[in-house]
Chain A
Amino acid sequence: MNPMENPILFGFIVYLFLILFVGILTSRYVRSQSDFILGGRKLGPWVIAFSERASGESAWLLIGLPGLALATGFVEIWAVIGCTSGIVFSWLVIAKKLRTECNRFDDLTLPDFLMNRFPEATPVLRLLASLLIAFFFSFYVAAQINGAGKVLVATFPEVLEDIQSFLSVEWSTPVIGMIIGAIIIIFYTIMGGFLAVAWTDLVQGIIMLFTLVVLPIAAFVELHTNPELTERLNAVDWSSFSVTGGKTGAALWIAVISGLSWGLGYMGQPHLLARFKAIRSAKDIRVGSLIATFWAVPAFWGAFLIGIIGFCIYGQGHFDDPEKIMPVLTMEIMPMWLAGIMISGAVAAMMSTADSQLLISSSTLSEDIIHKFMGLKVSQKSLVVISRAITLAIGILGFILAITSKELVFHMVSYAWSGLSASFGPPLLLALWWKRTNGYGILAGMVCGATTVIVWSAEWFKEIYAHIFLCPDAVANVTEAGGDIGSLMISHRFSGFAVSLVLVIVVSLVTGGRKTQLD
Chain B
Amino acid sequence: MPFWTLFWLIVPPVVLLAIGLIHFFATKEDVE
Which A residues form the contact surface with B (CB < 8 A)?
84, 100, 223, 233, 236, 238, 241, 282-283, 286, 290, 293-294, 297-298, 301, 305, 308, 312
Contacts and interface: CB of A to CB of B under 8 A. Distances in A.
B16 interface: yes
Contacts, number: 28
A233 B1 contact: yes
Contacts of B29: 283, 286
B16 A297 contact: yes
Contacts of A298: 13
Contacts of B32: 100, 282
Contacts of A236: 1
A201 to B, nearest CB: 22
A76 to B, nearest CB: 12
Given A283-B29, A286-B29, A290-B20, A297 B13 contact: yes
A73 B30 CA distance: 43
A42 B27 CA distance: 26
Interface string B1-32: 11001000100010011001100100001001
A98 to B, nearest CB: 14
Nearest to A294: B17
Interface of B: 1-2, 5, 9, 13, 16-17, 20-21, 24, 29, 32
B5 A293 contact: no
A223 B13 CA distance: 22
A297 B9 contact: no
A293 B13 contact: no
Nearest to A88: B20
A238 B5 contact: yes
Given A283-B29, A286-B29, A241 B5 contact: yes
Given A283-B29, A305-B9, A297 B17 contact: yes
A293 B20 contact: yes
A301 B9 CA distance: 8
B4 to A, nearest CB: 10
A293 B17 contact: yes
Contacts of B5: 238, 241
B1 A312 contact: yes
Contacts of A293: 17, 20
Nearest to A236: B1
Given A283-B29, A301-B9, A301-B13, A290 B1 contact: no
Nearest to A285: B29
Contacts of A297: 13, 16-17
Contacts of B1: 223, 233, 236, 238, 312
A38 to B, nearest CB: 21
4 A-B pairs closest in CB distance? A297-B13, A290-B24, A301-B13, A238-B2
A47 B16 CA distance: 24
Nearest to A100: B32
B27 to A, nearest CB: 9
B5 to A, nearest CB: 6
A283 B32 CA distance: 10
A282 B31 CA distance: 10
A80 to B, nearest CB: 9
18 contacts: A84-B13, A100-B32, A236-B1, A238-B2, A282-B32, A283-B29, A286-B24, A286-B29, A290-B20, A290-B24, A293-B17, A293-B20, A297-B13, A297-B17, A298-B13, A301-B9, A305-B9, A312-B1
Contacts of B9: 301, 305, 308
A153 B17 CA distance: 38
A290 B29 CA distance: 13
A222 B4 CA distance: 20
A220 B1 CA distance: 10
B7 to A, nearest CB: 13
Contacts of A233: 1
Contacts of B2: 238
A223 B5 CA distance: 15
A343 B2 CA distance: 30
A290 B13 contact: no
A419 B2 CA distance: 40
Nearest to A223: B1
B16 to A, nearest CB: 7
Contacts of A282: 32
Contacts of B16: 297
A241 B9 CA distance: 13
A286 B1 CA distance: 38
A501 to B, nearest CB: 26
A146 to B, nearest CB: 33
Contacts of A308: 9
Contacts of A283: 29
